[in-house]
Structure 1
């Protein structure tokens, strides 16, 4: 059975990607949570060569990057990516863009599932990222005609954008109506609701993540335990 090492569900957007992918597709795995701490690099190095999460182990094989995890899983589970070559290619491009881009969105609005924030302002860089996000999501929904980005089935490209749905919810970010509807679709998935429920129960607090969130704007609600 796969073992998936993740960090706090409230904060760890990278952990969510393979977790939601495995969960939503019904692939069995063992979840191992290692919370963020001041010494997390040393503790994470005990299972992850990069000292970061997520990290997947499969027997003697270790996979320590979220995109690499998706590709590794796809070798045995082709449903990870869409069936058609066109949709599969688009999905890989969109996933890679998320993996390496949208820096203003990530840096300005760190994932913090349990809070609701009114941002002080929306920078030009953030608005540019949100416009591109809406454009990309609408393109996938229109091209492949499904409830998900690359067709009727949830695939890896949806998993890669799952943390963005939590960011849109937490910071009430302005996106197009179609992107907002897709956000709600993701948030209402059973696996996403389970992740959120477990994130809200966590009592761990990590100072840097909390500081970053407080700098964004006024905290309206904290729904965490």
Structure 2
């Protein structure tokens, strides 16, 4: 029997764990969650630049994959019918591009608006360095939705891109980021996704053990 485990960290704080988990569920992979305990230094690194912490990590039989996009590509190879990437070559290339942009960029957004699913602000002042990142996300969403017609970034079903931007939807809700109607509808689609609801329930059930970051903006 094939054995698969996905090593994750906090469901409340770890946006990368969320992305990897969504991808595995979207691919229909039967896996066991393994929660890794992090020390305080690793936890702070997780909140700011979590790609340096090796979660999520997928172990599938004798294969181990620990980069989120690498996990996406591996899952696409073993479950090509899951539709993680769009079928059309040009659209698939765009999906890979916007997914890669989220994977490698938006550092100011990550530090200014860390994921915290238990929190919700009525208003929040975003420091100037993060505003271009917020506007770039809005541009990506608008271009994708205009081209596809929605309700997901690339049409009628979620893809890797939606998994990559799902934590951003959660961040925008937490920090009361204003969205135009089209983008608010997309964010609502993601946040009402049964997989997101399931993950969020797990986050809310977590004990509050991760240290708070003291960061000046």
Query: Normalization by structure 2: what TM-score?
Result: 0.87
Spell out, residue by residue over 1:47-85, the C-alpha distance to the aligned partner (whole angstroms, 9 max, x if none): xxx752110111111101111110111112222111111
Equivalent of 2:119 in 93, 96, 115: 115
Give the whole-Å Cα distance in 1 for the aligned partners of 2:124 and 2:24.
36
Give ranges in structure 1 of 5+ residues lacking alignment: 42-49, 217-225
Equivalent of 1:86 in 81, 90, 111: 90
Using a 3 Å threshold, how does the CA distance of structure 1 residues 36 and 176 change in structure 2: closer, same or farther? farther
1:146 correspondence with 2:153: no
Give the whole-Å Cα distance in 2 for the aligned partners of 1:150 and 1:25.
17
In the TM superposition, what are the counterparts of 1:1-225 in structure 2 within 5 Å? 1-38=3-40, 52-78=54-80, 79-117=83-121, 121-207=125-211, 210-212=212-214
**Residue 48 (structure 2) aligns with:** none
Give ranges in structure 2 of 5+ residues lacking alignment: 44-51
Structure 1 runs (4+) deviating above 3 angstroms are 38-41
Bigger fraction of residues in strand? 1
User: For the Cα contact (< 8 Å) 1:130–1:175, is it kept in 2?
Assistant: no
User: For the Cα contact (< 8 Å) 1:104–1:125, is it kept in 2?
Assistant: yes
State the superposition RMSD in angstroms. Answer: 2.0
Using a 3 Å threshold, how does the CA distance of structure 1 residues 51 and 140 change in structure 2: closer, same or farther? closer
User: For the Cα contact (< 8 Å) 2:27–2:79, is it kept in 1?
Assistant: no
Q: 1:26 deviation in Å?
A: 3.0
Moved more, 114-123 or 71-80: 114-123
Using a 3 Å threshold, how does the CA distance of structure 1 residues 119 and 106 change in structure 2: closer, same or farther? farther
Give the whole-Å Cα distance in 2 for the aligned partners of 1:212 and 1:158.
30
Give the whole-Å Cα distance in 1 for the aligned partners of 2:115 and 2:214.
10
User: For the Cα contact (< 8 Å) 2:108–2:133, is it kept in 1?
Assistant: yes
User: For the Cα contact (< 8 Å) 1:56–1:63, is it kept in 2?
Assistant: yes
Using a 3 Å threshold, how does the CA distance of structure 1 residues 27 and 173 change in structure 2: closer, same or farther? same
Q: 1:39 deviation in Å?
A: 7.3
Query: Normalization by structure 1: what TM-score?
Result: 0.84
Give the whole-Å Cα distance in 2 for the aligned partners of 1:189 and 1:149.
14
